[in-house]
Structure 1
Amino acid sequence: MIIAVDFDGTIVEHRYPQIGKEIPFSIATLKKLQKEHHLLILWSVREGKLLKEAVEYCRNRGLEFYAVNSNLPEEEQDSAFMRSRKVNADLYIDDRNVGGLPDWGVIYELVHHKWSYERYLQEVHDAKREKTSFWKRIFG
């Protein structure tokens, strides 16, 4: 799977433009996913020096990304103005997801088992979800 991963608020706590403290288990989980042959793309609002600092932060902790703010490692940064910042990925891990960022253990389980969040709740927490219509859940 190709997985795009945000930096600020996802790998580290929000302290932009500084680098915040690592969110527990973020780097370890991402390294484990790489060992399972997933391709990781760092997908960040950071550019220039700030982006290099983020890449170096991860590299110093043993995490190398397949690509950074691009679909392929060989895409030239000089031509960045000519391409979209939205990368093509199978999954996006970002703290701005609807519902926020799950715990990194949950993220690992979802990716490793190819589960939806609902399936995760059923499998791991044995959650019993009431089967009601979408509209009843929203307006009921």
Structure 2
Amino acid sequence: MVIALDFDGTIVEHKYPAIGEEIPFATETIRMLIAERHKVILWSVREGKLLDEAVNWCRKRGIEFYAVNRDYPEETMTNNNHFSRKLKADLFIDDRNLGGLPDWGMIYQMVHNNMTWNDVIRNARPSINSYEAPKRKKKWGIF
């Protein structure tokens, strides 16, 4: 799977342009996803020196991204006439998701087990899924 990861607020706490503290289990989980042969792309608003700092921060923690702010490592505007900052990924992990960022343990379980949010909700509340609406009594009458 190709997974695009945001940096600020997702891997580290928001302190932009500085680098915040690591969000618990983020780097460990990312290393596990890479070990499972997922192509993990760093997808960040950071550019230039700020982007280099983020990449180096991750590298010091054992994370080597498949690509950074592009679909594949060799992609440039000159060798891809359809170059776009909009990535072609199977999954985007970002703290700005609708509903916010799940904890990294949940993120790992969802990716590893190929689960959707519906699967997570269904597993978390099995009694809701088995709920049946009460049967309505038939009303016989003249209309």
Give the TM-score normalised by structure 2: 0.83
User: Given that residues 109 and 120 in structure 1 are in contact (C-alpha distance below 8 angstroms), is that contact kept between their aligned partners in structure 2?
Assistant: no
Q: Distance in 2 between matches of 1:63 and 1:77?
A: 26
**What root-mean-square deviation, in Å, do the aligned CA atoms of Structure 1 and Structure 2 show?**
2.2
2:47 aligns to what?
47
1:128 aligns to what?
127
Number of residue pairs aligned between Structure 1 and Structure 2: 130
1:72 aligns to what?
72
2:10 aligns to what?
10
Q: Distance in 2 between matches of 1:78 and 1:48?
A: 19
2:141 aligns to what?
none
1:100 aligns to what?
100
Q: Distance in 2 between matches of 1:74 and 1:122?
A: 41
Query: How far 1:103 sits from its partner (Å)?
Result: 0.6
2:32 aligns to what?
32
User: Given that residues 41 and 68 in structure 2 are in contact (C-alpha distance below 8 angstroms), is that contact kept between their aligned partners in structure 1?
Assistant: yes
Q: Which runs of 4+ in 1 moved over 4 A?
A: none
In the alignment, residue 36 of structure 1 is paired with which amino acid?
E
Identity %: 57
Q: Distance in 2 between matches of 1:45 and 1:11?
A: 13
Query: How far 1:126 sits from its partner (Å)?
Result: 4.4
More helix by share: 1
Give the unaligned 5+ runs of structure 1. Answer: 133-140
Q: Equivalent residue of 2:12, what SS?
A: coil
Q: Distance in 1 between matches of 2:114 and 2:128?
A: 20
Q: Distance in 1 between matches of 2:100 and 2:4?
A: 16
Q: Distance in 2 between matches of 1:128 and 1:85?
A: 43
Query: How far 1:127 sits from its partner (Å)?
Result: 3.7
